[in-house]
């Protein structure tokens, strides 16, 4: 599996979890359950610490793929120039 797929799929799953945590915390705040709101907020912050760098890696890998010399190609399947 290419790293781009791994980074992007993991970032997408974490984004869905972040939305769910945000909704849970917002609902807890609106109904007066401060403990739920605070716990959801802390978990959301911890999740974002992981999700934001993964999303950045996803974009970086998609726009600037790493080159590979181990299989004799430049990362796109084309042979490396000799020399």
> Quick check: pTM over 0.85?
no
> Which pair of structure tokens corresponds to residue 9?
């799929």
Task: List phi, psi (to 5°) of 77.
Answer: 100, -10
| Residue 15 domain flag | yes
Q: Which domain holds residue 30?
A: 3-63
Question: Which residue has tokens 């999303």?
Answer: 55
Q: What is the dihedral of CA 43, 44, 47, 49, to 10 degrees?
A: -110
Please write the tens of the pLDDT for every residue from 27-75.
999 998 999 899 999 999 999 999 999 989 888 888 877 665 555 555 5
Per-residue pLDDT, 69: 55
> Would 82 be classed as within a structural domain?
no
User: What are the tokens at 4?
Assistant: 């781009």
As for how many domains the chain has, the answer is 1
Using alpha carbons, list the distances in angstroms from residue 44 to 11, 36, 66, 73, 76.
14, 12, 31, 41, 37
């Amino acid at each position: 599996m290419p790293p781009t797929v791994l980074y992007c799929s993991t970032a997408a799953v974490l984004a869905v979890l972040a939305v769910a945590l945000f909704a849970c915390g917002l609902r807890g705040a609106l109904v007066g359950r401060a403990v739920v709101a605070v716990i959801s907020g802390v978990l959301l912050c911890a999740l974002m610490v992981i999700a934001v760098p993964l999303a950045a890696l996803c974009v970086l890998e998609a726009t600037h793929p790493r080159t590979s010399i181990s299989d004799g190609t430049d990362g796109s399947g084309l042979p490396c120039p000799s020399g």
